[in-house]
């Protein structure tokens, strides 16, 4: 396990178990938002690259 996995695991742990602490909740929300943005960007680029690979595709009988 790498250091960043342990770090983010601790951030998530503190976020879920220290609910009364507003600071940790905000940090946890920020971490989740950043993770969602990274995931969305990667998915968007993968989707368009996938579609781009089919741009020149033609059915076998038409070749």
Please give the C-alpha separations between residue 5 and each of 12, 30, 59, in angstroms, as whole numbers. 11, 17, 46
Checking phi first, is residue 62 left (phi over 0); if not, alpha (psi -120 to 50) or beta? alpha
pTM of the model: 0.56
Calpha distance 41→49 (Å, rounded) = 12
Alpha helices per DSSP H over 1-63? 3-17, 22-53
pLDDT confidence band for 37 (50 / 70 / 90):
very high
Residue 1 has pLDDT above 60, yes or no: no
Calpha distance 28→4 (Å, rounded) = 15
Q: Does residue 61 contact residue 42 with C-beta atoms inside 8 Å?
A: no
């Amino acid at each position: 396990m790498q250091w960043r996995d342990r770090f983010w695991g601790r951030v998530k742990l503190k976020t879920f178990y220290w609910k009364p602490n507003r600071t940790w909740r905000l940090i946890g929300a920020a971490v989740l938002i950043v993770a969602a943005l990274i995931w969305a960007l990667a998915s968007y680029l993968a989707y368009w690259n996938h579609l781009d690979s089919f741009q020149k595709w033609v059915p076998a009988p038409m070749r």
